[in-house]
Structure 1
């Protein structure tokens, strides 16, 4: 068992995790974290998302062994047996480690697509910044496994599933998977990422880092469904480097965990590149959901788009931080951001901070934010036709959020999100009816 103190000032031994040159990277990252600790509210990027939930706990590495029956039950809750998703190639991690018995064989992958475990061929890459990002530093110091996937030139890889499951374990645990995806020129892939856990277990902390490298003309659609256990902490970081004429499209749907943050750093490094960083959050109780992005335009004639929708009930809180940085060389930039929120409770809160930093003089950039409640006239119309109040609210909320999921181009991935969203709304209606 390897323990870590969330302050970063007392990391347990990690030298045995991997050998060779990577020890230098791990020790350097641990040193960075020891100097800074985890970010507090005085750090601008974390002003609205407080990590005090991590304080007071010493997180341990999860046990290697797990109950396979329990794992299959949790897996079936997100990938129903007999569904189209069950037929897709999948790599499954349980408590941060690849589970071969739950994953597809390499024979199921299309020709030109390969994957391996991070533990067997570790590669930290050069995209991340442990010295600037304490959570990436923590991941670099403690990563024990993850997925490394590559797609060869011109290959249309279709859909691949990356599933992370959190299962019951003794004590408070954490896991820090490291994933790398590389697309060669003109390659394409839809990566469907699912994070799930079983409710009732003790607090756990999931801190994944994903790096994406897109060569000239490549296309990656990254769709993420986050439905961790209700008391989980999920803090994810994504780095995407996008070459000329390449496109990175991402969408994250946040439904679970007590505290969640999805942070994307996208760099448009070649002319005519594009990035879309979209998402939706459905939050209740005291959940906190944070979608943060930093999009850097480093080349001319590039496009960035970001649309995020939030639905908040009870005392939940959503955070949207979107920064677009346009460097001097990035003429003809086209950037757009929009954050919209439905507040269904007087105690719910949305904190929005769109930001533009522009050094080029021939650009078209805009951002906006809207906050409101459900339309009373629409509710009255539905109620007047015999629809119960809770169901009428569900219909309007679902319509609001489905406009966001419609941005997902891959039909299979969109079906997964819409199904998870419908289930979450139905569960919410059931709870309302029980409380009434």
Structure 2
């Protein structure tokens, strides 16, 4: 492989693009090709972020950039182990490609991006920020994704979006998902990312989400990929007047995982919930970064993020609330709490408020500490084994974050992931 070192830390990805450009979806569509070529130019000029970039100062991508990935150039058509369904309808992506044989989209206005790219080309990069480096990388190499429309006034129920890495190749996948809810529409989107044990891959999904006036999207994301994987997700969300985005993210896997959300409240009475939890074990780094833009009056936002760290692990929380001058009567709340189960664990927390309006109610905070010794002693004194007592306290710590998820199947998925993580890592914390 002849890689030009002058292209910096993005050289391998640019080399891959040079070889795949004519085979990628939309190669013959001028608007799509222009987007990809612009992304290539951006990466050639600036590369991928290092810790010298303020937004990435706590998250070092060097291990990922040293890894050797190959493209999974052909779709995996054979049998793939699927978890028990949590919804009647399911969209399944294996190694970044839509699997119609494993999916059921009956009654939904939904399709594979690769199949309908000509009709949706104008929507790419209209919500997600093209200035974000992982969005730029996704734009360069995306091959597929889910395009979903919920028409005005329709309650679409629950849809499970499942992304599976087969582990057959050390590949990179860059799905681009476009989700749009019409006025007054409703949808519960339960997203799960899984991979086989030991699978080494880069999963770099980008969501572009539009919530129309009075619509509500409940979006629960569960990331349970292998400890050898890299998961770097970016969500761009726009919420119009009276609309609600109710989001929850659980990071419970990956060597390096980062969930980055940029959300704008664009009309009066719009609301956003950006809650989440991170479970981080030996040798892992989990980063939750959010930027919430209050751009209209009488809007509310809530964010509670809890992080549990075991062994030599590292957690990151960066949350910014921007309140613009016209966003009077804003009600914003942000809290980050970390529970360190090891003296070698580390948390970097950076909550921020930037307020230009004068009639607002905003607060933020961050705490970090170990398990409460008195509570642990209380449980042990009543005959509860040490591991069970620790598990009870950790679950109690997480409960405040998880219990805000109203959808029962989604909440069950979160609780299952928490149990699986504790079974694997609780005893060696």
Give me the TM-score of the superposition, normalised by structure 1. Answer: 0.91
| SS of residue matched to 1:68 | coil
Q: What is aligned with 2:397?
A: 400
Bigger CA drift: 49-58 or 343-352?
A: 49-58
- Offset, 1:195: 0.3
- Work out which of the residue numbers 393, 399, 409 in structure 1 matches 2:406: 409
Q: What is aligned with 2:129?
A: 129
Q: What is aligned with 2:155?
A: 156
- Offset, 1:121: 1.6
Aligned 1:28-427 pairs, distance under 5 A: 28-66=38-76, 68-69=78-79, 71-72=80-81, 75=82, 79-80=83-84, 85=86, 87-104=87-104, 106-107=105-106, 109=107, 113-122=108-117, 123=121, 124-130=124-130, 132-170=131-169, 172-201=170-199, 203-427=200-424
| CA shift digits 1:246-289 (9 cap, x unpaired) | 00011001111010000000000001100110100111101100
| SS of residue matched to 1:428 | helix
- Offset, 1:3: 9.6
Bigger CA drift: 6-15 or 295-304?
A: 6-15
- Offset, 1:431: 5.6
| SS of residue matched to 1:422 | helix
Tell me the number of residue pairs that the alignment of Structure 1 and Structure 2 aligns.
Answer: 414
- Offset, 1:55: 2.2
Bigger CA drift: 284-293 or 16-25?
A: 16-25
Residues 8, 44 of structure 2: 8 Å contact kept = no
- Offset, 1:68: 2.9
- Work out which of the residue numbers 13, 17, 20 in structure 1 matches 2:29: 20
| CA shift digits 1:75-96 (9 cap, x unpaired) | 2xxx33xx6x1x4200010010
Distance 1:101 1:64 in 2: 16
Residues 300, 331 of structure 1: 8 Å contact kept = yes
| CA shift digits 1:46-72 (9 cap, x unpaired) | 010111012223432114242633x22
| SS of residue matched to 1:8 | helix
Q: Does 1:8 align with 2:17?
A: no
| CA shift digits 1:12-71 (9 cap, x unpaired) | 3243212212101110111111111011111110010111012223432114242633x2
Residues 243, 268 of structure 1: 8 Å contact kept = yes
Q: Quick one: structure 1 residues 164 and 3, their matched pair in 2 at CA, closer, same or farther if it must change by over 3 Å?
A: farther
- Offset, 1:125: 4.2
Distance 2:293 2:305 in 1: 18
Unaligned runs of 5+ in 2: none
Distance 1:359 1:317 in 2: 33
Residues 2, 60 of structure 1: 8 Å contact kept = no
Q: Quick one: structure 1 residues 167 and 359, their matched pair in 2 at CA, closer, same or farther if it must change by over 3 Å?
A: same
Distance 2:73 2:428 in 1: 34
Q: Quick one: structure 1 residues 400 and 212, their matched pair in 2 at CA, closer, same or farther if it must change by over 3 Å?
A: same
Residues 128, 207 of structure 2: 8 Å contact kept = no
| CA shift digits 1:280-317 (9 cap, x unpaired) | 01111011000000000111111111100011110111
Unaligned runs of 5+ in 1: none
Distance 1:353 1:323 in 2: 8
Bigger CA drift: 379-388 or 145-154?
A: 379-388
Distance 1:270 1:184 in 2: 15
Distance 1:54 1:415 in 2: 32
Q: Quick one: structure 1 residues 356 and 210, their matched pair in 2 at CA, closer, same or farther if it must change by over 3 Å?
A: same
Distance 1:151 1:356 in 2: 34
Residues 230, 257 of structure 1: 8 Å contact kept = yes
| SS of residue matched to 1:277 | strand
Q: Quick one: structure 1 residues 20 and 237, their matched pair in 2 at CA, closer, same or farther if it must change by over 3 Å?
A: same
